[in-house]
Structure 1
Amino acid sequence: MTSSEGRHHHRPMLPGDRAIEASSGSVDPAELAEAADRAATLLVRGAHDSTDVGVADRLLHLADTEGIETIAEVWASSPGDSLAGCLWRLYLLRSWVYADPEGVARQYDAGRARAQVARVVAGVADPPGPEDLKAMIDQVLRGIAESDFADVLFRAAAFARVVAAGRADQPGVSDEQVSRMLALAEQLEAAGHAELSHGLA
C-alpha cells in the first residue's frame, strides 16, 4: 500500500476505540513498530483474559470499523512471528474471503483432495459454500478471544494450505499467487508452533 505525501498517519487503537489520526509530520518507524506491538498484545492477550462477551464481536469486526488500510498501516510490516504480524495476516485472510467468497470456495473445494489433513483442521463444511467459508473465517477470528491463540493460527494456516493446493488447478491463477498463499500458510503454522513453545510477543 502506498501513501501520498502529507497524508495523516494512524496510530494503533486501543481495543474498542477508533484509530486516532496523528498530527501531520514524520513518524519514527521504531516508535510505530513498538506501538503496533503493544496494540497487538493488548488485543490478543487482553481479549483472551476479558470477561466482556462483546470482545469477540469487536475483534471480528475491527477491520470493518477501522478499515483494512488502517490495520495495514499499523501491522503490515510486522514479522510473521509476532502478534502484530499474525493479526495482520488473519485480518488480510478474512478481508480476502469476504471480497470474493465464491472464488475462494472454488479454490478451497479444488484443494480438499490434495490437502486432506489441512481440510480437517480448517473445519469447513463439506462441500464448502461461500457462506460456509465466511462463517469459518469469522469463527477463526472469534477464537482470538474465545480459544487458544495457537489454535486460531493453526486453523487459519490449514485453511490457507487447502486454498494454495486448490489454486494450482484454477485457470488464470499464477504460480506466484499459489506461492504467496502457501507462504501465508507456512507463516501462520510456524507462528502457531512459536505460540505453543514460548508465546508470541
Structure 2
Amino acid sequence: MELEPIHRLEAAAYLADVAHLQGDLDVWENQLTEALRWIDMVNPTMKSRTLPALSGAFRAAMIESSENASQAANELCLKLASASATKLRRFARIYPIGRPVSFMASGDLEAKFGRERKAVRLWRRALSDSMRLQLFGMAIAARKRLQAQNAPLDDICLMASMQLDALSEIYDRSQWEIAERSAAGFSLIRKDSSGA
C-alpha cells in the first residue's frame, strides 16, 4: 500500500521535528527537503485531514535553528513555512475550522519577517475566530502571542479575552490545565532544545 502525499508530508514534518530535537541536523535538513517535496502534491481543499499535516509542516519549518544549521537548511525552512502557510490559507477558505490555525501561522510568519503590526492583526483574528469556534487552546495561544507583543486588544478580542478569563474560573483547575497544554500544542513556533 502506497502512502498518500498528505501522510508523507505529515511524517516528514514530524521526523524533522524529532531530528531537530535530537540535534541531528543532517536528518533534519533531509526531512525538511522531503516535506517541501510532498507539500507541493497536497491539495488542501480536498480533505479535512490536511490540517494536522500542514500545521506540522509549518511548525517544523518555524523551528528556531541552531547556529550549526546550514544556510541551505535555513532557506528550506523559509520555503516550507511559506508553502505551508499558503496551503493553510487555502484550507481555511473551504473549512472554517482551519481559519484560526491559518491566521496564527500567517501571523507567526509575519512576525518572523519583522512585520509585527500585520502579525498582531492576524493573531487578533485567530483569537476571535478561535473563541467563535470554541477552540479554547488556540484562543489561549493567540492571546499569549498578543500579550507577548504588548498589543492592545480591539473590542472583539477584549471580549474574547474576558471570556477566556471567565472560562478559567468556571472550569476546574485540571480542565483548564488541559486547555493550556492544548495551547502549547498550538505553539506553531518552538524554541530549539538548547532554549535559545
TM-score normalised according to structure 2 size: 0.34
Tell me which protein shows more helix as a share of its residues: 2
